[in-house]
């Protein structure tokens, strides 16, 4: 999904709950609606095995803001942001808000690109970022910590897709894909799996 897109130098640009699609048997997740997707790096720019620095994406006063309002990262606000931003971090921001929607938590703010949005202002308010997010709303405290890491207001400090995939809580989510990582074994049974249960994959 998103990890593959980013590895190919492509940003989705409009992640939201309508865009992740499950295959008919529910074993494969695919990302749809690539209308705002764009290449931020040529696939020929990355040296083999090297960490890639993304090309800066220029945002000017005449550039339209793309994406869907509640999911747009604050750095895309041309009035308040630097003239460039990392589109991978913006995708992670939208991914975190999509996860909240999937958990049934609704929108925490109308849009973070509006300096006047009081809910977003409370979220980033000093001294404690994360106001308005309650641990009891999440299936696990670790899930809240993960979402807050994905919503860090400073893009360079936001979790990357690599960080997220290595997170112990994410690695413990029930595995439905027929492609099981080497050394892992799926231990759940769809006939017995309940909506509110979290069955882990063991290593």
Return per-residue pLDDT of the chain as tens, 203 residues: 888 888 888 888 888 998 888 777 666 778 888 877 888 776 555 545 555 555 555 544 445 667 788 898 988 875 455 667 888 999 999 999 999 998 889 889 988 877 788 888 888 886 677 888 888 889 899 999 999 999 999 899 999 999 999 999 998 887 654 554 454 443 333 343 333 333 333 33
Q: Tokens representing 89? A: 């971090």
- Which residues are marked as active site? 14
State whether the Cα torsion 182-47-82-18 is positive or negative.
negative
Q: What is the pLDDT of residue 148?
A: 93
pLDDT score at 56: 56
Cα dihedral sign for 172, 177, 181, 185? positive
User: Residues, the chain, total?
Assistant: 203
pTM of the model: 0.75
Please state whether 5 falls in left (phi above 0), alpha (psi between -120 and 50) or beta.
alpha
φ, ψ dihedrals at 30, nearest 5°: -125, 150
- Predicted confidence at residue 180, as pLDDT, reads 47
pLDDT in tens, 30-80: 888 887 788 877 655 554 555 555 555 554 444 566 778 889 898 887 545
pLDDT of residue 179: 52
- State the pLDDT at residue 198: 37
**Token pair 């190919």: residue:** 8
Give me the pLDDT at residue 81, please: 53
**All domains in the chain, ordered by first residue:** 2-44+68-171 (1.10.510.10)
pLDDT at 41: 76
Backbone angles phi, psi at 118, to 5 degrees: -65, -30
């Amino acid at each position: 999904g998103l990890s593959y897109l980013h590895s190919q130098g492509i940003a989705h640009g409009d992640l939201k709950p309508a865009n992740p699609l499950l295959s008919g048997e529910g074993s494969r997740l695919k990302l749809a609606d690539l209308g705002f997707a764009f290449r931020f790096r040529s696939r020929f720019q990355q040296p083999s095995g090297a960490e890639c620095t993304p090309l800066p994406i220029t945002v000017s006063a005449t550039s339209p803001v793309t994406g869907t309002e509640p999911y747009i990262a604050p750095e895309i606000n041309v009035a308040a942001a630097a003239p460039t931003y990392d589109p991978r971090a913006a995708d992670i921001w939208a991914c975190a808000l999509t996860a909240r929607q999937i958990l049934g938590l609704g929108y925490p703010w109308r849009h973070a690109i509006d300096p006047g949005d009081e809910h977003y202002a409370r979220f980033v308010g000093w001294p404690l970022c994360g106001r308005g997010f309650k641990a009891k709303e999440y299936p696990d405290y670790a899930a809240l910590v993960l979402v807050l890491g994905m919503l860090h207001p400073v893009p360079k400090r936001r979790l990357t897709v690599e960080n997220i995939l290595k997170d112990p809580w994410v690695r413990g989510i029930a595995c439905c894909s027929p492609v099981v990582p080497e050394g892992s074994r799926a231990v759940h049974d769809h006939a017995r799996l309940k909506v509110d249960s979290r069955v882990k994959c063991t290593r």
